[in-house]
């Protein structure tokens, strides 16, 4: 049976025991003889051509050790060592070390130089630790910070950095660069009709086709959702159309193979000649052009035309976008609530009208900033925020129903529907008190996609409403195919009732059409009792306007709004 180790022997054995337990390697590099004496760790990591020394110690030359360090890391190690000798800063460095069998390990090297009496460095004493797992984790984190996990393409942040570099270099050389925004057409409809797996397969295949269609020096990334960004360095502006047409053909060339079978896919493209400016501005311009390409019928290209008026408008939009973004971050966006009353004058529900508080105490209404939000592609993010605000208001006011307006782009956003489902699951009974409104113009832009979206909202137990009914002149066939419960007659007809007899006739026609489908009707912008009486006579079931209450920042209540209305708007 082994005898217990004495205290002195244990103290002497502690360093070796610690090294054995940790797997680290302790070393002393004698600079004069250029030999490295080492102990501990995996023997293969430091094993050299030399046999052990006379005293049985493990030895390797400094040159042999340097020869094993990855050439790309040698300079960094040399600089760290020089700083340590010159300034006393700790010597601490990561580098790759090659084993005799060719394998590579990442190691963390920490040490301290001991100087001779003359002040000349005599020895470097340190510890090596293998950090392969840590480096692999760091590489994974860096990859996630720069790449889109689904497609493997660069993400928006990295794409922005590359665009900045490309425009800077092009400006120095007197050349131009191009930025293209490429959006998949009707991806939301594909997702709703065929499922996430099919939509994901479409995104991945479009990414591959775009990559194959570009030059080696071009960069393609996924800037978000169904939109890709492409940086074309040293590309003349007149070539933008040809490049865009090449991308359009590459995507539409053949159907995309998906788990549900082949799917025909097209894209729309917006482009801009990127100048020496903030990359975000160039990307915004291209995405604005992309939206115009979609309005022109999709599967086409639209360039951004930067007139002086457009430049001024863009600057104003960017300022408004920054203000909204800051409000989202600070959670200061608010609702003003306006009542919608029934034929008895009782509140049927409230419409949630978004407001942006200003530093001076005034409040901007949605009309002052939402056009900029939609132009900058921020509408989906705002709609996610308003959904959370509406859910909070419904929880705080269990006796009221609320109507929430959504932008046209959100009808193609599956993540919004997912968020709605999750929030309703956590709040039983709330769905029946939530009304989701979309505008008639959004419906006309993509009838099938909007109908699928509204059907999904209804499936979760919410009611749906068609806002601005009559403004876009939906046909009988269109209205029949929409899963809505309420139609809100555009307020322009109500305002024109007194001066224009045709307006009242048009309202009568809209009400009859809605009644034919069993839909409830709301008339907006009702300001006088005469208007209210005439509208009720025509069969309008609910009324909304200043006659029954202005928008108020106070909490809604079942019996009507408090007397205090919202402050003056900017």
Q: At what angle do helices 187-194 and 447-459 cross, to 10 degrees?
A: 40
Does 178 score more than 50 pLDDT?
A: yes
Domain boundaries along the sequence of the chain: 7-137, 149-306, 331-544
Q: Which two tokens stand for residue 103?
A: 């394998």
The end-to-end CA distance of the chain, in Å, is: 90
Given pLDDT bands bounded at 50, 70 and 90, which one contains residue 58? Answer: low
242 or 387: whose pLDDT is higher?
Answer: 387
* Closest residue by Cα to residue 486 from 540, 565, 556: 540
318 or 180: whose pLDDT is higher?
Answer: 180
What pLDDT was estimated at residue 355? 95
409/377 Cα distance (integer angstroms): 9
Given pLDDT bands bounded at 50, 70 and 90, which one contains residue 312? Answer: low
Given pLDDT bands bounded at 50, 70 and 90, which one contains residue 570? Answer: very low
Q: Which residue's entry shows tokens 């025909």? A: 264
pLDDT in tens, 194-203: 888 899 999 9
What pLDDT was estimated at residue 156? 86
Average pLDDT of the chain? Answer: 83
Q: Which two tokens stand for residue 358?
A: 């200003």
Does 12 score more than 70 pLDDT?
A: no
Given pLDDT bands bounded at 50, 70 and 90, which one contains residue 569? Answer: very low
71/87 Cα distance (integer angstroms): 25
125/110 Cα distance (integer angstroms): 8
CATH class as words, domain 7-137: alpha beta
* Closest residue by Cα to residue 377 from 332, 410, 344: 410
CA distances from 297 to 202, 206, 211, 301, 569 (A): 20, 19, 25, 10, 37
Does 1 score more than 70 pLDDT?
A: no
- The pair phi, psi for residue 212, each rounded to 5°, is -65, -25
CATH code for the domain defined by 149-306: 3.30.70.270
pLDDT in tens, 420-471: 999 999 999 899 999 999 987 777 667 778 888 999 999 999 999 999 887 6
Given pLDDT bands bounded at 50, 70 and 90, which one contains residue 531? Answer: very high
What pLDDT was estimated at residue 17? 60
138 or 463: whose pLDDT is higher?
Answer: 463
CA distances from 343 to 158, 331, 346, 539, 557 (A): 57, 37, 7, 10, 18
Contact of 192 with 456, CB cutoff 8 Å: yes
Given pLDDT bands bounded at 50, 70 and 90, which one contains residue 314? Answer: low
Does 53 score more than 50 pLDDT?
A: no
Does 303 score more than 90 pLDDT?
A: no
* Closest residue by Cα to residue 79 from 68, 60, 63, 95: 95
Torsion-angle region of residue 185: left (phi > 0), alpha (psi -120 to 50) or beta?
A: beta
305 or 522: whose pLDDT is higher?
Answer: 522
Does 39 score more than 80 pLDDT?
A: no
User: Which stretch of 86-95, 289-298, 390-399, 555-564 has the lowest confidence by average pLDDT?
Assistant: 555-564
Does 54 score more than 70 pLDDT?
A: no
Given pLDDT bands bounded at 50, 70 and 90, which one contains residue 497? Answer: confident
Given pLDDT bands bounded at 50, 70 and 90, which one contains residue 145? Answer: low
CA distances from 190 to 152, 246, 264, 345, 372 (A): 22, 24, 10, 43, 28
Q: Give the pairing of strands 35-39 and 58-61.
A: antiparallel
**Of the ranges 119-123, 235-239, 402-406, which is most confident?**
402-406
What pLDDT was estimated at residue 562? 40
Average pLDDT for residues 98-110, to the nearest whole number?
83
- What homologous superfamily does CATH list for 331-544? EAL domain (3.20.20.450)
411/449 Cα distance (integer angstroms): 7
Given pLDDT bands bounded at 50, 70 and 90, which one contains residue 43? Answer: low
Contact of 521 with 512, CB cutoff 8 Å: no
Q: Return the beta strands (E) in 55-103 as ranges.
A: 58-61, 91-98
User: Which stretch of 47-61, 78-92, 129-143, 383-397 has the lowest confidence by average pLDDT?
Assistant: 47-61
């Amino acid at each position: 049976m082994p005898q217990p180790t004495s205290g002195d022997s244990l103290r002497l054995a502690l360093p070796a025991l610690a090294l054995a337990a940790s797997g680290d390697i302790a070393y002393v590099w004698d600079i004069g003889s250029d030999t490295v004496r080492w102990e501990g760790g995996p023997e293969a990591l430091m094993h050299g051509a030399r046999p052990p020394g006379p005293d049985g110690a493990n030895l390797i030359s400094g040159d042999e050790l340097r020869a094993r360090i990855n050439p790309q890391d040698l300079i960094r190690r040399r600089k760290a060592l020089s700083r340590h000798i010159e300034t006393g800063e700790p010597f601490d460095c990561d580098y790759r070390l090659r084993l005799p069998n060719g394998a590579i390990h990442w190691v963390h090297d920490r040490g301290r130089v001991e100087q001779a009496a003359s002040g000349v460095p005599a020895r470097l004493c340190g510890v090596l630790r293998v950090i392969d797992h840590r480096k692999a984790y760091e590489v994974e984190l860096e990859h996630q910070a720069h790449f889109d996990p689904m497609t493997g393409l660069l993400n928006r942040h990295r794409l922005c950095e590359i665009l900045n570099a490309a425009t800077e270099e092009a400006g120095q050389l007197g050349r131009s660069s191009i930025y293209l925004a490429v959006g998949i057409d009707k991806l939301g409809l594909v997702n709703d009709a065929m499922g996430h797996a099919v939509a994901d397969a479409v995104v991945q295949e479009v990414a591959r086709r775009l990559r194959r269609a570009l030059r080696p020096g071009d960069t393609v990334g996924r800037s978000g959702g169904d939109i890709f960004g492409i940086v074309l360095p040293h590309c003349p502006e007149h070539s933008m159309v040809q490049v865009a047409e090449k991308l359009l053909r590459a995507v539409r060339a053949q159907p995309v193979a998906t788990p549900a079978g082949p799917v025909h896919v097209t894209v729309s493209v917006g482009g801009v000649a990127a100048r020496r400016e903030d990359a975000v501005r160039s990307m915004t311009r291209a995405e604005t052009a992309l939206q115009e390409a979609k309005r022109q019928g999709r599967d086409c290209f639209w360039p951004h035309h930067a007139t002086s008026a457009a430049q001024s408008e863009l600057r104003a939009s960017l300022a408004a976008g920054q203000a909204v973004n800051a409000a989202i971050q600070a959670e200061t966006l608010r609702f003003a609530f306006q009542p919608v009353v029934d034929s008895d004058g009782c509140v049927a529900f409230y419409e949630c009208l978004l407001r942006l508080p200003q530093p001076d105490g005034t409040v901007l209404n949605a009309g002052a900033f939402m056009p900029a939000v939609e132009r900058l592609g921020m509408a989906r993010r705002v709609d996610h925020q308003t959904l959370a605000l509406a859910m909070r208001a419904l929880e705080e006011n269990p006796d009221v129903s609320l109507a929430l307006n959504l932008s046209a782009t959100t009808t193609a956003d599956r993540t919004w529907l997912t968020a709605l489902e999750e929030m309703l699951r956590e709040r039983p009974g709330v769905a029946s008190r939530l009304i989701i409104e979309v505008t008639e113009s959004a419906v006309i832009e993509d009838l099938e996609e909007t109908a699928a979206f509204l059907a999904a909202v209804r499936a979760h137990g919410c009611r749906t409403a068609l806002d601005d009914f009559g403004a876009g002149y939906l046909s009988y066939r269109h209205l029949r195919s929409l899963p809505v419960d309420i139609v809100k007659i555009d307020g322009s007809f109500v305002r024109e009732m007194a001066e224009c007899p045709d307006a009242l006739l048009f309202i009568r026609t809209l009400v009859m059409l809605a009644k034919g489908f069993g839909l409830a009707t709301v008339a907006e912008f009702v300001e006088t009792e005469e208007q209210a009486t005439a509208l009720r006579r025509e069969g309008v079931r609910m009324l909304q306007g200043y006659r029954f209450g202005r928008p108020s920042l106070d909490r809604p209540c079942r019996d009507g709004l408090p007397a205090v209305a919202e402050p003056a708007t900017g």
